[in-house]
Chain A
């Protein structure tokens, strides 16, 4: 069982927006602004798309954005494109000085 809870799947049509939630606790997501999101295409290594809740690394499309409210973080992808179809994982720093991943969400475009 993953430490953070994500929906198993979400879907959207090209051009639409979707949001993936990541529910944690007051010991991880709710305690720190250290939530990151990773995109993983089949057979590939994951790639960082959002760090520290809402920071977008250089080279990542501005269609990706992140936010947090209480113990829940969210990743929003706007203007969906076919290449956005992938698995997405949230990850948070915890009070145990460890990292915890969510179970992952499969995005279908």
Chain B
């Protein structure tokens, strides 16, 4: 069974940075394509970005609202994918889900989510 465990959420001020690691088990992590999805309070799902496996180029792509502020990276030795967020805004508030993409175009598994609140 694939398990994804996010951590690192909390209350931060506008302009701050925050790092969200996600530890993954139950699959061959080095071959996995991973993505992050967020959900504002009472809102819908929003795709943030994806990082390919090293074999797939190891590159990352991002949604327009976070491009230039968020960076997705991976540490295959620790089975961990990381979302580094900077210049945070109030509209970045929400639950952040780490996800495993079983293929390049669908999300097969989700973590339980970690709550990020950006407020002064």
Q: Which residues of A pack against B, CB within 8 Å?
A: 2, 32, 34, 36, 38, 40, 45-48, 51-52, 57, 89, 91, 93, 96-104
Contact = CB atoms under 8 A, between A and B. Distances in A.
B27 interface: no
B44 A104 contact: yes
A99 B110 contact: no
Interface of B: 35, 37, 44-47, 49-50, 61-63, 97, 103-108, 110-113
Contacts, number: 61
A37 B8 CA distance: 28
A5 to B, nearest CB: 12
Contact of A45 (B47, B49, B104, B111): B111
A52 B107 CA distance: 11
Nearest to B45: A101
Given A45-B97, A98-B61, A91 B107 contact: yes
